[in-house]
Amino acid sequence: MSRSDRSLSLAGPHHLGVGSTRLAAWGAGTGTMVLVAALFGFGADHPALVLGVGWGALALAVLLVIRGRYVGKPAGVRNDGVFHRSLTARGAIAWALGIAFTAYYVALYWFPESIAGITRLFDPLSRLLRGRPADQWFAYGGFYTFAVLVMGAKFLVKYRHSRYQTWRTVSVMFFQLGFAFLLPAFLALMQRPEFYFSYFWPLDYDALWPGTVGSFSTTTLGLWAIGIGLVLTFVATPVLTFLYGKRWYCSWVCGCGGLAETAGDPFRQLSDKSLKAWKIERWMVHGVLLLITLLTALLWVNSALEGGWLGSFSQGFAKAYGFVIGAVFSGVVGVGFYPLLGSRVWCRFGCPMAAYLGIVQRFFSRFRITTNGGQCISCGNCSTYCEMGIDVRSYAQRGQDIVRASCVGCGICAEVCPRGVLRLENGDWKLRLEER
């Protein structure tokens, strides 16, 4: 067999090659070392140059991976070796990466002075976009957006055979760059409160709290932001979820979902598919939704009574929620544990927005994944690569449509199915009612 024939084999290995592998490793290592060195003051006099070198080296590593694994080869999903690589099978590299992610989040939330060197690298960009020096949250937003864009490019090439995957990836990249990074920076430049239009209550848990509403209501733009948030939460969310399922937000708009789908794609097979995990998931995610709903109501009642009912209890409750759910769960665990527990830990077990959308999807939405049980060969690819831990194969074997509150409609189960058994569809809601 000629070398060109081997490169087109669908069953054969798709390695980068020794030279490309070493160069990719060099790029990843150099970029990481440059950014770590910035913690100790390296590049303080030339922050833009250092940040550019660090990001450039990391981007080069990703581009080499794209070129080696996907470019010039037949389109189609390739996950061969995923359970044999240290990074994607909870090996030493995965643990090291998980520890590094977790350490960064701990520093971000509680010890920002320890990462001041990295934050300073973003000063030139922050002054350009916001007219002020960078803080740890702007630096974090920069890293977050960089990860979504660079790993999104990898995702686009990997799933280039699918128009659905292409458009939804472009969508999350657009919303992260435009609505979650550039637009808030522009508002800050205009001396207005930073508002993230791609996040709203209950995910943006304090968006409807009395203090937030009070601070925003002092300006016309702030009133518009409050109004848009209310419409998105109580009108757009149920209507769009009825029409398209929770995928319209979780897989097309949300920054948490955007990071999970791009940077988290190599880890989607690590999600726990057990029945025990499903039971825990249902209790936890709906419990968080109940907590934030109760907390928001308590804060408004306490505000109306000028603190005469619960006194400082509601504020203490708010701080506890912000610490446990807003910081520890969504940040430290939600992203830090990607290499160990999969990319949707937060979305499955803690996101109140996912719970809200899931309730609408489960009982009122037209969205479903239809199955053709007669074609299923029980390979298990669909269940393996479901990042939400759904045992898709069990539904396919029975020829049963998948209507689950947790499904984010990413469509990867359909992409990895070798027989075309699964289809994402918007069915007739009246038939759903008859089925019940």
User: Could you read off the pLDDT of 11-20 as tens digits, one per residue?
Assistant: 334 455 545 6
pTM over 0.85? The answer is: yes
Closest CA to 258 of 194, 346, 379: 346
- Rounded Cα–Cα distance for residues 56 and 298 (Å): 48
Residue ranges of the chain with pLDDT lower than 50?
1-14, 18
Tokens found for residue 13: 């290995």
Give pLDDT, residue 225: 86
Strands 422-426 and 367-371: antiparallel
pLDDT digits (tens, 9 = 90+) for 295-352: 999 888 888 877 656 666 667 778 888 889 988 999 899 999 999 999 999 999 999 9
Alpha helices in 322-368 (DSSP H): 334-336, 338-341, 345-349, 352-364
Question: In the block, which residue shows the tokens 């590299």?
Answer: 93
State the residue for tokens 């049963």.
400
Of 365, 342, 354, 410, nearest in space to 172 by CA: 410
> Would you tell me how many other CB atoms lie within 10 Å of the CB of residue 284?
15
pLDDT of residue 8: 32
Helix (H), strand (E) at residue 426: strand 422-426
E strand segments, 187-338:
none
What is the pLDDT at residue 20?
65
Closest by Cα among 148, 255, 251, 261 to 200: 255
Q: Is the dihedral of CA 186, 143, 15, 85 positive or negative?
A: negative
Q: What is the pLDDT of residue 102?
A: 94
Yes or no: say if 277 and 345 are a contact pair by the CB < 8 Å rule. Answer: no
Residue 5 confidence (pLDDT): 38
Say how many C-beta atoms besides its own lie within 10 A of residue 81's C-beta.
12
